[in-house]
Amino acid sequence: MCGIVGYVGPQPALEVVVDGLKRLEYRGYDSAGVAVLADGRMDTEKRAGKLANLKAALAETPRSADGIGIGHTRWATHGAPTDVNAHPHVDNDNRVAVIHNGIIENFASLRLELEERGCKFTSETDTEVAAHLLGEELKRQGEDLAAAMRAVCRRLEGAFTLVAMYAGDPDLVVAARRNSPLVVGRGDGENFLASDVAAFIAHTRDAVELGQDQVVELRRDSVAVTDYDGNPAPVREYHVDWDASAAEKGGYDYFMLKEIVEQPQAVADTLLGRVGVDGTLTLDEMRLAPSELRDIEKIVIIACGTSYHAGLIAKYAIEHWCRIPCEVEVASEFRYRDPILNRQTMVIAISQSGESMDTLMAVRYAREQRARVLAICNVNGSTIPRESDGVLYTHAGPEVGVAATKTFLTQLVACYLVGLYLAQMRNLKFGDEINAVIEQLANMPQQVEKVLGTVAPVRELARSLADSETVLFLGRHVGYPVALEGALKLKELAYMHAEAFAAGELKHGPIALIEDGLPVVVVVPSREGRGVLHDKIVSNIQEIRARGARTIVIAEEGDETVRPFADELIGIPAVPTLLQPVVATVPLQVFACELALAKGNDVDQPRNLAKSVTVE
């Protein structure tokens, strides 16, 4: 969603802030703006569209700035993406500038109240309400911006991060958070604020995790954190284990291309250090005792988008290894159907960012029902892991492309590890059995590397389908979620109609869609591991090919039984059945990326999408 940057220090603030916004472009946005202090005067510039528009406007009017500034990339919620609605917003006296991520749910009543007091609004946004409230509170609080922020936050409802600066104090940035991401970067004589550490990683790798309902005062040499009542609040400091080069394109035209290639290393990093010296598995942070894990009678996985597909695959592994009933729920629907949860339920929340609002609210609902919660996440210090009973971090590193690639594969690996961990804690698998699967997982980076070395024909195939209007996907067993992920990638990147079906459902309706030349991608199960399903899906391929479909078949290398029925055959390494999604997904990522590029689309920043969805 929206990207936030704040800076106090000796460097030219405008350069630091704009550079930080550039590093946050991957989050998705439709306008951008900055505010700096120049000789004690508030100076703002904002433009709809890409960051290049803002840069051009800044270049037209060179300005000197003090070492303090804030910047924002906006993803519109209240009000169209226009220059006027872009952030920052200022109060009527132009003393306070505010940027905001999230939604202020009671903004309408607050705006009416302010207008009745003579306040003049220039935008349609909920954010401007906060700017005017801060302007008023400053006068009441003796020009104390932090006290004013605390007073304003006590009046706001919803999910938000607010960052403000005040013309009367050129060495202070104040921010507050509730249900929305915000992190502090500690430097030497300078400090940073951002919605993601990527914004300041070129300057410092030392970060401070802010808790719920906290206000932070940022000065050059100090960081002070309080709750909304002004009481000192505890914080957790941590060190970011990747550097600025990890967020650069590294010679690739697009981040997505780079991130697809980085997948073998990301999978290897996620597996690193998971097996203790005694052969037992360990997670990053587990605050549940083995006895509590043995009491679990049901598992519910909650996630959105690509993470939901990882959850569907996890269901097969967990039920197979742990013999526990496992449900998979779309997080945005979960709490609205009155699900049955209790202390014997474990909820596994999968979120790449750890800030997905739908998933976060589902986690909170689960905890209210006394369920145990385990998080799978890629961002250290994010909200969902902090509010869970345990966490397994995927070590994919920064993923800049909006469409998930390496975070998906590492989520799969994390799900396998969770399944094995639970089997271990419940005494359902012996050490040698777990080690056998771990060895298979340890071989997956090499297998993914092998797939990446053979995708040139996939790229050529994708380019040949650039004029197609529809692509269908079929799969069985763990291949069905892979098919769903393949269809989602085409929707996200190529803006095409794409649907996925469980192959066995063809005869119950979807086969009516088959017509001459229609591309159909089929993910074929292992012949050795799932022989019955393999034979059934080969029959499905024959059925659709007889009706004119162009069959694109993903199957294990050496599986000659499918060759006669495949117009295009994409070979993948033979791996254990439950692990096949790790290798079968990669050609579909390449396929969607190349097809989108053939259409002239921006694969890093697809239209209408954001990397982290921090509003419901």
**398 exposure class (CB count in 10 Å sphere: 0-12, 13-18, 19+):** buried
- For residues 182 and 362, what is the distance between their CA atoms, to the nearest angstrom? 20
Of the residues 2, 119, 153, 415, only one is catalytic, namely 2
Print burial letters for 568-590: b (CB count within 10 Å at least 16), e (below 16).
bbbbbbbbbbbbbbbbbbbbbbb
Q: How many residues does the chain have?
A: 616
Q: Report the sign of the C-alpha dihedral through residues 187, 192, 197, 200, in that order.
A: negative
Q: Indicate if 326 belongs to the active site.
A: no
Q: Indicate if 611 belongs to the active site.
A: yes
- Radius of gyration for the chain, computed over Cα atoms and rounded to the nearest angstrom: 25
DSSP-derived letter for residue 600 is T
Omega before 62 within 30 of 0, i.e. cis: no
Can you spell out the DSSP letters for 436-464? HHHHHHHTHHHHHHHHHTT-HHHHHHHHH
What's the token pair of residue 28?
A: 């998705």
**In the β-sheet with 222-227, what is the strand arrangement from edge to edge?**
89-90, 96-104, 158-166, 173-178, 214-219, 222-227
* CA-wise closest residue to 374 among 390, 355, 397: 390
Which residue's entry shows tokens 């780079």?
258
What's the token pair of residue 16?
A: 């630091």
Q: Find the angle CA(131)-CA(134)-CA(140) to the nearest 5 degrees.
A: 155
- For residues 240 and 612, what is the distance between their CA atoms, to the nearest angstrom? 19
List, in order, residues 6 or more apart from 500 with CB less than 8 Å away. 472, 473, 474, 475, 480, 483, 484, 486, 487
Of the residues 22, 315, 429, 611, only one is catalytic, namely 611
Q: How many beta carbons lie within 10 A of that of residue 606, not counting itself?
A: 20
Q: Are 346 and 325 in contact (CB under 8 A)?
A: no
- For residues 118 and 135, what is the distance between their CA atoms, to the nearest angstrom? 13
Which residue's entry shows tokens 């598992």?
299
Catalytic (active-site) positions: 2, 611
